Amino acid sequence: MSPTDERVEALLARMTLAEKVGQMTLFTTDWGQTGPTIRAGYADDIRRGACGALFNSHTVAFTRELQRIAVEETRLQIPLIFGYDVVHGYRTILPIPLAEAASWDLAAIERSARVAATEAAAAGLHWTFAPMVDVARDPRWGRVMEGAGEDAFLGSRIAAARVRGFQGGGLGNTDAVMACVKHFAAYGAPIAGREYNTVDMSERYFREHYLPPYAAGVRAGAATVMTSFNDFDGVPASGSEFLLTDVLRGELGFEGFVVTDYTSINEMVAHGVAANDAAAGELAAGAGVDMDMQGAVFQRYLADSVAAGRISEARIDDAVRRILQAKVALGLFDDPYRFCDEERERREVLSPAHREAARDVARRSVVLLKNDAAVLPLARDARLLLVGPLAQSRVDMLGAWHGAGVADECVSLFDGITAAHQGKLEVERGCDIDGDDRSGFDAAVAAAARADVVLVAVGESAEMSGEAAARAEIGLPGVQSALVEALAATGKPVAVVLMNGRPLAIPTVAERATALVEGWWLGSEAGNALADVLYGDYNPAGKLPMSVPRSVGQVPLYYGEKSTGRPFDPASKWTSKYIDLPNAPLFPFGFGLSYTSFGYGEPGVDRSRFRAGERVTVSVTVTNTGDRAGEEVVQLYVRDVVASVTRPQKQLLGFEKIELRPHEARLVRFELGEEDLRFYRRDMSYGSEPGEFEIMVGGSSADLQSVRIVLE
């Protein structure tokens, strides 16, 4: 037994059942307009050992006082864990995770999480409720902004990068926080895209397309996992022994502790699988939940369930053991105030270095979708009209789940443009984000007549995406599309910057705009980062992590569809298609333009046939065919030509981001082995099958060249 284990076991032996249950209880504190407060009764809960962790408790001064109560006024002096939703930054706000996924830059994403963790830990925090690794293929769901998009492979790579970034060199370091992989499991597939709704999918589909990012986060060492609100195969996740015990612990080997999402134990009553909270608590504890977030079910009922023999005390000990081990790993028993250094807080929070890191990852996250007539980059001395309801917004640039971010500390697009532009600049609002008021159109159109270029900032407010923000219609809200059309009708070049948390169905805007930029919600340095891109100080290299639909009627929409018995054929009515729209998205997964251009040679392989244990090297020459240095994300996809079950038409299995000087060529290589071609076969065993595979390489999921190989 290790010294850590001995320490935990000795403490566990001294604890009463009530104190054990207290360690399994997580409560929130209030954070009102006048500052932090502790809810009535919670201080007494801490003193009684009836609460082992708190969330929404941050800043050194606040957490120090709460920790003092725990370690100086309780019988066993067990320190508290403090958690917070540091989803894309603490005070320095980074781009929303979906935007960062568009960078396809794993090093930048890991650095982003490092910034978030360093600030959070400096502010007295030990734990972040991130990363969200739910695969999402329906942009109606508001929380697509919080994940990495539609693809399991890209999502897995990003999940691991974010866990590494949050946990840094290891728990116990004062610049690291515990990561929490969420939401386990399949939360990203609610029916109709409606928040908290039922999830219904086959186990095969779950294992192949939704489980991999969770597994990647666990393999990267995530200290905690959060359950999801949805049911899976008819059982709410917080009560699913299959998910929490069989899969998470048995198959994935997870050794940390499991926390529920907010009151999700209580919600099993509304799900209709438990008669009351006490029964719901027994379901959750029996399934493998270790900590109850906010619902107080464990606190109120779990000891009685143990006394009645419905839950064993050994199960309680397992949960408490894992929680105490986390506290030991964080170093809290050695020094409960190790994260309470006010000088470190002043030095790290919103530091210039962190703001520069935020600016860098933000510009890497921008996706150039259209650039007719090379309208972008902008000339600094042009007569420029900046118009749109989001042009001067700061708070919306922070996006949903923006931690302790402050709007006044955010750089708006107007701020960034003002700092970069050297010519005449006019500004008009044009319209609001929502509503039908067009009274600002005339002034905007008149100003456009005086401009060389019109730059339009449109999109969603920060409240329109995120949790509990599903939208049935996913076009531009209000009359923003009409504003773009009115400006385009002037004949002046119109460059549209989208600011949003989900893919938006905007076919008319995409057609009328001369240039179109996906600018997402980029955080504290949004305006500066966008100006870097718009003026060409940074050559955009982002690629879409989600397909952009033409219409909400196409969703769910994703690149990896399976072939059907009647594949799409535009010449035949009797195939799988719409009669009023193309099947294809407005912009496909993996797509993104640059201010330069790239050419791809034909892909080649070093062997056309191979066996298990052997590797195939796939190579392709990529050339910068333009006059400006730029970055390109080279993507590799695979199709299993004939298998025992239907397979996706293409599946991402590799990517590499490269930088090329003008006219420079580079040979890019990918390696594939038999293990990369495994899937869940007809009998649900996991493995490969001999046969032919099409290997496709290119700059997006819709622009690929192929070569074939055979697995013997």
Active site residues: 261
**CB contact at 8 A, 618 and 672:** yes
Q: Which residues pair with 180 in a beta bridge?
A: 224
Contacts of 242 (CB under 8 A, 6+ apart): 232, 233, 235
Closest listed residue to residue 113, CA positions, set 57, 164, 45: 164
What's the burial of 72, exposed, middle or buried (CB within 10 Å: 0-12/13-18/19+)? exposed
> What phi and psi values does residue 411 have, to the nearest 5 degrees?
-95, 115
What's the burial of 573, exposed, middle or buried (CB within 10 Å: 0-12/13-18/19+)? exposed
**CB contact at 8 A, 702 and 591:** yes
Contacts of 400 (CB under 8 A, 6+ apart): 96, 142, 145, 146, 462, 463, 465, 466, 467, 469, 501, 521
Cα 647-648-653 angle, rounded to 5 deg: 110
Euclidean distance between CA atoms 320 and 418, whole angstroms: 55
CB atoms within 10 A of CB 38: 19
CB atoms within 10 A of CB 684: 10
Alpha helices in 195-312 (DSSP H): 203-205, 211-219, 241, 267-271, 277-287, 297, 303-307
H/E element, 605: strand 604-605
CB atoms within 10 A of CB 692: 14
**Three-state secondary-structure class, residue 648:** strand
Between strands 494-499 and 453-459, the pairing is parallel
Between strands 630-640 and 665-673, the pairing is unpaired
Between strands 127-128 and 180-184, the pairing is unpaired
Closest listed residue to residue 682, CA positions, set 644, 639, 641: 644
Exposure string (b/e) for 142-161, b if CB count within 10 Å is 16 or more? bbbbbbbbbbbbbbbbbbbb
Largest CA distance in the chain: 80
State the number of CA atoms in the 13 A half-sphere of 249 facing the CB: 17
What's the burial of 343, exposed, middle or buried (CB within 10 Å: 0-12/13-18/19+)? exposed
Euclidean distance between CA atoms 712 and 709, whole angstroms: 10
